[in-house]
């Protein structure tokens, strides 16, 4: 049985070996973690929402690195992620994950969204990332229904934190408003 602690605006779920998942309401650019996940687009050209906030807070160094990645590989496929440094943000890395645009759920969206979370957690293992912060990828401009996306995200993150071996100690899932937070909390209860 998972041990769950709830306060007014945070929920903590304990996993084996002292690992934990924390859900909170906030701005992802304000958290202190080793790696922040961005909800990017496949052109890696920046945009609104989380992407806009990360580039504003992190400064131009992040886009310069993305320009180099784009020049070499043309961008990032949906379901994947690329790594840059975090510029002025208090993190070592930004993982720019490209979530699917939601159509009707019948066009591979669940698999592609799951792949975003898996890819970022794999990158965390490769880069010795102990703490990582995720936004609710695809649930803004890309239109993914929040409850469905929450189920996928929480399943992948929980599976990772239940692994026998992982370097990840803490995952922060940062929800932008109370309504998204409540939907995620209800997915765990």
Active-site positions read 51
Of 3-11, 26-34, 123-131, 159-167, which segment contacts ligand AR6 by CB under 6 A?
Answer: 26-34
Whole-angstrom distance, CA of residue 98 vs CA of residue 122: 15
3-state secondary structure the chain: CCEEEECCCEEEEECHHHCEEEEEECCHHHCCCCEEEEEECCCCCCCCHHHHHHHHHHCHHHHHHHHHHHHHHCCCCCCCEEEEECCCCCCCEEEEEECCCCCCCCCCHHHHHHHHHHHHHHHHHHCCCCEEEECCCCCCCCCCCHHHHHHHHHHHHHHHHCCCCCCCCEEEEEECCHHHHHHHHHHHC
Of 33-41, 82-90, 103-111, 156-164, which segment contacts ligand AR6 by CB under 6 A?
Answer: 33-41
User: Is 81 near ligand AR6 (CB under 6 A)?
Assistant: no
User: Is 50 near ligand AR6 (CB under 6 A)?
Assistant: yes
Q: How far is the CB of 16 from ligand AR6 (least distance, A)?
A: 28
Q: How far is the CB of 139 from ligand AR6 (least distance, A)?
A: 4
User: Is 47 near ligand AR6 (CB under 6 A)?
Assistant: yes
Of 21-29, 64-72, 73-81, 123-131, which segment contacts ligand AR6 by CB under 6 A?
Answer: 21-29
Using CB under 6 A as the criterion, what x/- string covers residues 90-129 for binding ligand AR6?
Answer: ---------x------------------------------
Residue with smaller CB distance to ligand AR6, 166 or 175: 175
Q: How far is the CB of 151 from ligand AR6 (least distance, A)?
A: 15
Please give the span between the terminal C-alpha atoms of the chain, in angstroms, as a whole number. Answer: 12
Q: How far is the CB of 124 from ligand AR6 (least distance, A)?
A: 18
């Amino acid at each position: 049985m998972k041990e769950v602690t709830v306060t007014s605006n945070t929920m903590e779920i304990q996993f084996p070996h002292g690992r934990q998942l924390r859900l909170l309401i906030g701005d992802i650019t304000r958290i202190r973690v080793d790696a922040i996940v961005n909800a990017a687009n496949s052109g890696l050209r920046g945009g609104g929402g989380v992407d806009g906030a990360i580039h504003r807070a992190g400064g131009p160094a992040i886009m310069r690195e993305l320009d180099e990645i784009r020049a070499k590989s043309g961008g990032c496929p949906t379901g994947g992620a690329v790594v840059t440094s975090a510029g002025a943000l208090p993190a070592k890395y930004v993982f720019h994950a490209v979530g699917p645009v939601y159509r009707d759920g019948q066009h591979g969206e669940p698999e592609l969204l799951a792949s975003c979370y898996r890819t970022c957690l794999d990158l965390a293992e490769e880069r010795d990332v102990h703490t990582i912060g995720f936004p609710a990828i695809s649930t803004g401009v890309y239109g993914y229904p929040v409850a469905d996306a929450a189920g996928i995200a929480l399943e992948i993150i929980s599976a990772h934190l239940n692994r026998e071996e992982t370097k990840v100690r803490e995952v922060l899932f940062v929800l932008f408003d109370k309504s998204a937070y409540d939907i995620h909390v209800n997915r765990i209860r």
